[in-house]
Structure 1
Amino acid sequence: MTISAENSEAQNTAVADALDYDPYSVDLNMAPYEVFARLREEAPLYYNATHDFYALSRFDDVNKALIDHETFISGRGALLEIIKSGMEIPPGTLIFEDPPIHNIHRNLLSRMFTPRKVLALEPQIREFTARCLDPLVGTDRFDFVNDLGEQMPMRVIGMLLGIPEEHQRRVTEHGEATLQNENADLMASGEVFAEFIDYRTKHPSDDIMTDLLNVEFEDETGTVRRLRRDELLMYLTVVATAGSETTTRLIGWAGKTLADYPDQRRELVDNSALIPNAVEEILRWEPPALHMARYVTRDTEHYGQTVPAGSAMLLMIGAANRDHRRFPPNGDVFDIHRELRSHMTFGAGTHFCMGNALARLEGRIALEEILKRFPEWEVDWPNARPSQTTAVRGWEAMPTFVA
């Protein structure tokens, strides 16, 4: 059988025009924005038959769905593979809970992220950042991830939890292994924290671990009690993993993005007052988590189509963050002078990230201290390595040549 050139060209065009988003493709997730733009305009409600999920990509749709925690629930998991596995979610997994139990657990942790506690960390974070960067001054290389991005959030979470410095690397590696685990039924148990719990039980201190060991609360049954050991272990795993990954990715993306936009980087060097806005724009521009998954509890209508109860829905954070309807005139333009409008990087509604102020503080300090020492850089692309996770995306290495 022969295929004419005309038919062949038509088939190639049809393949090129096919709109397909594979959430498990690491390569696609590192540069997904052409696909995301098509999703927003051509298929604001998208269905993927291969992986059996729906997706919403426009800002208003994503925001409304995240707030509607009765239709779009987290209790079956917030990752597509976990929802699809049907696994039982361990108690205390805060990001995989729904109200009212989620609100009870969230209130217990919110004491960790009060404005007072976050701001009190600034001198220590800045001192540690300087310690990481000063030995590199005068050299010609700086890796945004390996030299700082991995170190800073690990240290900050250690400060909050009261984990000794010599043990913090082990905790971070535990969190990375959790994220890279392809098997949804092998969620971390949190046992990495067991010895610290035992130590703080005998040696209380002014840290969140001591607080959580001693706090009494009324649970969903009306019983006043303390956290069980398994709940506390899971709490600490969630805090340590979520608290480190966002900042690590943010710093890596900052290295790449400001290398791509040297004129805007120069403005930050000349005027450090622009840095908080730049951090916000980098968070919008390259969010570590491109989507959040939800289980659909009841039939819901979008764009004239019914999403049936029992479906998995991806709420496309990365697509919503560049929606021109929310970020006019063009969300696909990076601009450190952009008028501040809330984005989706930290979520919305009941699961809005409690650590957002801490991540912003760490990002600001990192950029301030980096730009003081290294006002110019270029990415060493042959040695830059993308992370192989799909739950969060970013760089395992972001090496640069510095001037």
Structure 2
Amino acid sequence: MVSREIRASVHWGVAHALPTVFLRRAAAQGDLQARLIRVGSRGTDEVFDLVEEIRARGPLYRSRIGYVATSHAAVRHLLTSDDFRTGLPTDQGPIGRVARWAAPTTLHPVEPPSLLVTEPPDHTRYRRLVTRVFTMRAVERLRARTGEIAADLLDRLETRASGPVDLVEAYCAQLPVTVIAEILGVPEAERARVLEFGSGAAPSLDLGLGYRRYRSVTRALAQFDDWLGGHLDRLRHDPGDHLLGQLVAVRDEGEGLSETELKATAGLVLAAGFETTVNLLGNGIALLRDHPDERARVVADPALWPNVVEETLRLDPPVLLTGRMAVRDTELAGQPVRAGSMVTAILGGANRDPEVFDDPVSFDVGRANARDHIAFSAGRHHCLGAQLARMEGEVGLRAVWDRFPDLRLETGARRRETRILRGFERLPATLRP
């Protein structure tokens, strides 16, 4: 029997090492998409400079990898058209067979039956079962509780206000993980572990991981898989009045999701329920710190707080890009796209399209059409938790600035080294200078 170590090495080689070699060569030859992928791992604003270089080549850039869409219209069409679906061309053929043979058997956010990469009818079935917890009405019922959680976290920070604190660790991560944990019935004693799983597995969305990072991500996913299995078993004995308990009950009645589908859906909802909101909160705090005049506008008119969230999502989205594959010969932005071609949608590019947004690189909390961004994707894969993220962003950002209006960010802020997710890993701040 082939050892797990050998399988891991083969999978890493096919899924990450070979693409890395290709990307390195393509970037050296001036391919802008290859350069974007490599620069993205640094987490700097240099990535937006490259997006603008790509935009200058037209609404659909042809690279050695595939196509890149940067315009608002092209990205929206790509995400809503039935001519495109999730998945990768390498899922097929000999490389795809080798990758599937060697791949770990634990759940993965970009492997079926994850909601991220399934299509109708399965996607429709999964989504229908979990949608009710994320409706606007359901989210508004959570607003008061979210405010209580934020206030409690800020009370704890108040005692540490004499010295710098890492806002990501102490606030931006704690608020959304507490909210989603309560929604999904995760005991308070286990929430720190869930945060660790999320941080460890976040790079799993990326291409071109080094072997050490690949193994650490694989371990985090395996540990999350094991923990989730135990959590679901506990819920079978004590379902509780929350989404996961309801899904477990439906599963045990012989309907709804299979065991694998249940784990994949629960895992994605749990991780996605806080991972991107951590980025939204951190990015929003940094933007308000960098633009004191805009912050003063919000202080003068608190009704602008919802728009602060939309403008943050537009200018510095928690998810930078996503991808689709053409299922048939088609057109995008007036250009032919062959079946099997990969198209990357730069959400952060669409959100800065000068054809849609005036002065698109400016942070304007009063921007009338800020909500026209595509930070939550579009179409059937529109973010399930968009309303929850909006509410948490509004409550969380307002609470921290109301409590600490003189908050000062210190040196040492560091972006996450992820290509798809965009946010801060560390955000040191002095709360009362």
What is the TM-score with the length of structure 1 in the denominator?
Answer: 0.85
- Segment drifting more, 306-315 vs 17-26: 17-26
Q: What is the alpha-carbon distance in structure 2 between the residues aligned to residue 213 and residue 380 of structure 1? A: 45
Displacement after TM superposition at 1:303 (Å) = 5.4
Displacement after TM superposition at 1:29 (Å) = 5.4
In structure 2, the residue corresponding to 1:292 is in which secondary structure?
strand
Distance 1:131 1:370, change over 3 A: same
Distance 1:313 1:42, change over 3 A: same
Equivalent in the alignment of 2:305: 275
Equivalent in the alignment of 1:157: 180
Contact 1:144 1:251 in 2 (8 A): no
* Equivalent AA in structure 2 for residue 108 of structure 1: L
Q: What is the alpha-carbon distance in structure 1 between the residues aligned to residue 366 and residue 56 of structure 2? A: 26
Displacement after TM superposition at 1:372 (Å) = 1.3
1:39 to 51, 54, 75: 54
1:317 to 2:350 alignment: no
* Equivalent AA in structure 1 for residue 156 of structure 2: P
2:289 to 241, 259, 283: 259
Equivalent in the alignment of 1:179: 202
Displacement after TM superposition at 1:172 (Å) = 2.3
2:164 to 141, 153, 157: 141
Contact 2:401 2:407 in 1 (8 A): no
- Segment drifting more, 39-48 vs 364-373: 39-48
Q: What is the alpha-carbon distance in structure 2 between the residues aligned to residue 17 and residue 228 of structure 1? A: 47
Q: What is the alpha-carbon distance in structure 2 between the residues aligned to residue 255 and residue 16 of structure 1? A: 38
Distance 1:256 1:284, change over 3 A: same
2:237 to 202, 218, 223: 202
The C-alpha deviation readout for 1:121-155, integer Å capped at 9, x for no partner, is 22222112112112333425343311211111111
Q: What is the alpha-carbon distance in structure 2 between the residues aligned to residue 251 and residue 104 of structure 1? A: 31
- Segment drifting more, 339-348 vs 26-35: 26-35
- Segment drifting more, 280-289 vs 91-100: 91-100
In structure 2, the residue corresponding to 1:121 is in which secondary structure?
helix
In structure 2, the residue corresponding to 1:206 is in which secondary structure?
coil
Equivalent in the alignment of 2:36: 22
Displacement after TM superposition at 1:30 (Å) = 3.9
Q: What is the alpha-carbon distance in structure 2 between the residues aligned to residue 203 and residue 357 of structure 1? A: 28
Equivalent in the alignment of 1:395: 424
1:97 to 2:118 alignment: yes
Distance 1:17 1:216, change over 3 A: closer
Q: What is the alpha-carbon distance in structure 2 between the residues aligned to residue 81 and residue 394 of structure 1? A: 29
Q: What is the alpha-carbon distance in structure 2 between the residues aligned to residue 19 and residue 102 of structure 1? A: 33
The C-alpha deviation readout for 1:41-91, integer Å capped at 9, x for no partner, is 323211332xx13111000000011001x32111x26xx998997455644
Equivalent in the alignment of 1:125: 146
In structure 2, the residue corresponding to 1:231 is in which secondary structure?
helix
RMSD: 2.8
Contact 1:72 1:297 in 2 (8 A): yes
Contact 1:253 1:395 in 2 (8 A): yes
In structure 1, the residue corresponding to 2:372 is in which secondary structure?
coil
Distance 1:250 1:28, change over 3 A: closer
In structure 2, the residue corresponding to 1:393 is in which secondary structure?
coil
Higher normalized helix content (fraction of residues): 2
Distance 1:90 1:293, change over 3 A: closer
Contact 2:285 2:397 in 1 (8 A): no
In structure 1, the residue corresponding to 2:36 is in which secondary structure?
coil
Equivalent in the alignment of 1:59: 72
The C-alpha deviation readout for 1:132-182, integer Å capped at 9, x for no partner, is 112333425343311211111111111110010111121222222222243
Q: What is the alpha-carbon distance in structure 2 between the residues aligned to residue 93 and residue 361 of structure 1? A: 25
Contact 2:43 2:418 in 1 (8 A): no
Matches within 5 A, 1:218-297: 225-297=255-327
Equivalent in the alignment of 2:400: 370
Q: What is the alpha-carbon distance in structure 2 between the residues aligned to residue 83 and residue 55 of structure 1? A: 21
1:72 to 77, 80, 84: 84
Displacement after TM superposition at 1:270 (Å) = 3.0
Unaligned runs of 5+ in 2: 1-27, 101-109
Distance 1:19 1:199, change over 3 A: closer
* Equivalent AA in structure 1 for residue 76 of structure 2: N
- Segment drifting more, 130-139 vs 335-344: 130-139
Q: What is the alpha-carbon distance in structure 1 between the residues aligned to residue 265 and residue 333 of structure 2? A: 38
Q: What is the alpha-carbon distance in structure 1 between the residues aligned to residue 179 and residue 149 of structure 2? A: 9
